[in-house]
Amino acid sequence: MAGFILQRLWQALIVIVTMSMLVFAGVYAVGNPIDVLISPDVTQDIRAAIIAQYGFDQPLWRQYLTFAGKLLQGDFGSSFVYNMPVSQLILSRLPATLELTLLAVLFASAVGIPLGMYAGYRPHGKFAKTVMALSILGFSVPSFWFGLMLIMVFAVQCGCMPAGGRGATESLLGIEWSFLTLDGLTHLWLPALNLGLFKFALMIRLARAGTREIMLSDTVKFARAAGLSEYTVLRRHVLRLIAIPLVTVFGLELGSTLAFAVVTETIFSWPGLGKLIIDSITSLDRPVMVAYLMLVAFLFILINLTVDLAYLFLDPRLRKGRA
């Protein structure tokens, strides 16, 4: 078992190092960042001095080694555009993305699971069919298009919701949050709905499939025979049994929510990490791009590693066989 864990850690390490090389080499190939940094009319001397200061005159492999060495100390360098350390910049944008993601996931499960359970409980009813059609739409419609529709209906046609931005924020533990103010909440609502749509469709599907299966099992027959009300059967027995796959998928999907946040944040001009990366790509802000990509890669490797280790504890076959 220790061998298995070590093997997975080793693999994760290889993936991280490979990713850092790929990201560094790839980002280096995009344009020449020096043109962004200095105006074209400076003298050759100043130009050469700045190039030397950033180390752009060094060969690529040496730049990578310097970069990797700093990376190990948690130093991502400074943003060319914002002129502040990248780690600070990312930390300042993180809360906005975090609250957006959490609200989206919360909405998807709080609304999606009951709807899916009902659709599985009465699979042939009209309501169940409507719910399923809704989930098919949720899978097919591209996220950015749904966002545009939300803006058009709620912000342009009815005018009851703001079309973008974060609204007023309130400070908690030294961090600015939108969900603490009423204005912030109205700004948060549409992007969260947009971001949560795919997960919402997914939760409906999973909850429906699980409920259909478990409604046929002996557990439910006995619970009914014991005289429990249908509501109690669903809540106490069915929900508990379908919770395991739901939680697994939920955890895995947290990462992809972060990926889709790029789209949602761009549409609603939500000042989070996704907006930051899009802005830094258009302005060739190299350190920010590298740091973001590394952060995402690291996050995914962490999630996968956690899932693998969790299975290890849940599934005794893995523990014996692969050790």
Partner 1 sequence: MRHDSPVARFWADFSRSPVAVLAAIVVLVIILLALCAPLVTPQDPYDLANLVLRDARRAPGYVGTGGYSHWLGTDSQGRDLYSAIVYGLRISLQMGVIASGSAFAIGAVVGCAAAYIGGRFEAIVMRIVDLQLSFPAILLAFVIAAVLGQGKYQLILALVFAQYAYFVRTAHGAAAAERQKDYVEAALSIPLSSWHVVTRHILPNAMPPLIVVATVQVASAIALEATLSFLGVGLPPTEPSLGMLIANGFQYLLSGRYWISIYPGVALILFIVSLNLVGDQIRDQLNPRLQR
The answer to whether 211 and 176 are in contact (CB under 8 A) is no
Contacts of partner 1 in 251-270 (CB under 8 A)? 252, 255-256, 259-260, 262-263, 266-267
The answer to whether 103 and 261 are in contact (CB under 8 A) is no
Which residue, 36 or 259, is less far from partner 1 as judged by CB?
A: 259
Beta bridge partners of 230: none
x/- map, 206-235, partner 1, by CB under 8 A:
------------------------------
Contacts of 177 (CB under 8 A, 6+ apart): 95, 99, 169, 170, 171, 184
Which residue, 193 or 293, is less far from partner 1 as judged by CB?
A: 293
Q: Does 282 bind partner 1 (CB under 8 A)?
A: yes
Contacts of partner 1 in 66-105 (CB under 8 A)? none
- CA 137 centroid distance within chain: 21
Q: Does 293 bind partner 1 (CB under 8 A)?
A: yes
Contacts of 6 (CB under 8 A, 6+ apart): none
DSSP state of 123: T
CB 30 to partner 1: min, Å: 5
**Position among 4, 56, 64, 144 found at the interface with partner 1 (CB under 8 A):** 144
Among 246, 235, 237, residue whose Cα is nearest residue 205: 246
CB 175 to partner 1: min, Å: 26
- Cα–Cα distance measured from residue 198 to residue 134, given in angstroms and rounded to the nearest whole number: 11
Residue found by looking up tokens 């379908």 in the block:
242
- Range in contact with partner 1 (rule: CB under 8 A) among 111-119, 180-188, 228-236, 288-296: 288-296
CB 15 to partner 1: min, Å: 7
CB 156 to partner 1: min, Å: 6
**Position among 4, 5, 8, 15 found at the interface with partner 1 (CB under 8 A):** 15
CB 262 to partner 1: min, Å: 7
Q: Does 27 bind partner 1 (CB under 8 A)?
A: yes
CB 221 to partner 1: min, Å: 26
**Position among 20, 23, 234, 250 found at the interface with partner 1 (CB under 8 A):** 23
Count of CA atoms in the C-beta half-sphere (13 A) of 223: 18
Q: What DSSP string runs through 18-80?
A: HHHHHHHHHHHHSS-THHHHS-TTS-HHHHHHHHHHHTTTS-HHHHHHHHHHHHHTT---B-T
x/- map, 174-193, partner 1, by CB under 8 A:
--------------------
CB atoms within 10 A of CB 282: 8
Q: Does 321 bind partner 1 (CB under 8 A)?
A: no
For 78, phi then psi, to 5°, come to: -110, 145
Q: Does 300 bind partner 1 (CB under 8 A)?
A: yes
Cβ-in-10-Å burial (0-12, 13-18, 19+) of 184 comes to buried
Q: Does 16 bind partner 1 (CB under 8 A)?
A: no
Which residue, 128 or 288, is less far from partner 1 as judged by CB?
A: 288
Q: Does 132 bind partner 1 (CB under 8 A)?
A: no
CB atoms within 10 A of CB 192: 25
- Under the rule (CB under 8 A), what is the footprint of partner 1? 15, 23, 26-27, 29-31, 136-137, 139-145, 148, 151-152, 155-156, 163, 252, 255-256, 259-260, 262-263, 266-267, 277-278, 281-282, 289, 293, 296, 300, 304
